[in-house]
Amino acid sequence: MIRHWLAGPMALLAAAPVAAQVIDSAPTRSALVRTIALDARLATDAGLRLGDTVRISALTGDRTAERAVVSALLARRADPSEIARQEYRARLHLDQLQRLSGYGDRVDRFAIRTSGDSARAALLTTVNAAAFGFRAWPSAEIAVRTSRTFQVVRRFHRAIGVITIVASAAFLLCILLLKIDERRRDVAALRMMGISSATIVRSVVLEAGLIALLGSLFGVGLGIVMARLVNWHFQGVHRTTLAFTLVTSETILFACALSVVLGTVAGWVAARRLVARPPLSLLGR
């Protein structure tokens, strides 16, 4: 079934039964061939092009269906809430929609574009006071109410991120402890040559920080490539311009800073643990 959506970010009225109204004022069929805007995905799947004439009807095989000329193709919006929906959309003239739906003067909801906060507030007050059952909402509030699922997913992703950071920090510390412990003979030789423990610790910390920085830069490059692959795949599957993964500059800076800090701390802990032992003990004597 073709659904009709009125365009624009506006206040939205919830469905309201208007039993007292007479619903029989749907306009008669127009003698002219009207235009219609179709979903670009529908045009692709059905092999339609601009200028083609189609018949629109709520019934299958209706030979008396109204004809319409495809005058525009609608690109799918980059809206996460629409990704799971597979239905097609079409935009019709209001009288076309009335005849197609048989709804007459009734509407379930409609949107109104306003100019400025004061006009929006006045409109909300007027509509909400018009009759019992009418309820108007700002488009921003509707977006919040309909995106709670995504807010839960966002919190879930944050929890996964925190767990990943803690686990990677423990893994990094263990790796550095093992790697630096393998250099205990070198450290013992340096200390027996008169190199101070502080100098050895600084060199190990500097090396660990540099390795962490290079590793984080490699991870950033890998993340950018993977993000582009994910977007390329799912944008093709869902035929949308929505970005499924993002690698922002804030994310890169945070990842690099966190990696350097964790690497430096892990290197300092491993170096302090090594220089705390006597040189002969490091040589196994």
- The DSSP result for 108-127, as a single string, is S--EE--SSHHHHHHHHHHH
Q: Percent of the chain beyond pLDDT 90?
A: 8
Amino acid at position 197, single letter? S
Taking CA atoms, 154 is separated from 16, 146, 177, 258, in Å, by 33, 14, 35, 21
Greatest alpha-carbon span in the chain: 104
Q: Percent of the chain beyond pLDDT 70?
A: 88
Residue 2 burial (CB count, 10 A): 19
Note the pTM of the prediction, 2 decimals: 0.61
Between 284 and 135, the higher pLDDT residue: 135
Q: What is the mean pLDDT of residues 62-79?
A: 85
Taking CA atoms, 109 is separated from 59, 86, 131, 183, 247, in Å, by 23, 21, 15, 72, 38
**pLDDT score for 4:** 38
**pLDDT score for 218:** 92
Query: How do residues 148-187 score in pLDDT, each as one tens digit?
Result: 777 788 888 889 888 888 888 788 778 877 887 788 888 8
Between 190 and 30, the higher pLDDT residue: 190
Q: Give the model's confidence band at 31: pLDDT under 50 very low, under 70 low, under 90 confident, else very high.
A: low
**pLDDT score for 89:** 86
Q: What is the mean pLDDT of residues 197-208?
A: 88
**pLDDT score for 29:** 57
Residue 230 in this model has a pLDDT that exceeds 90: yes
Q: Give the model's confidence band at 1: pLDDT under 50 very low, under 70 low, under 90 confident, else very high.
A: very low
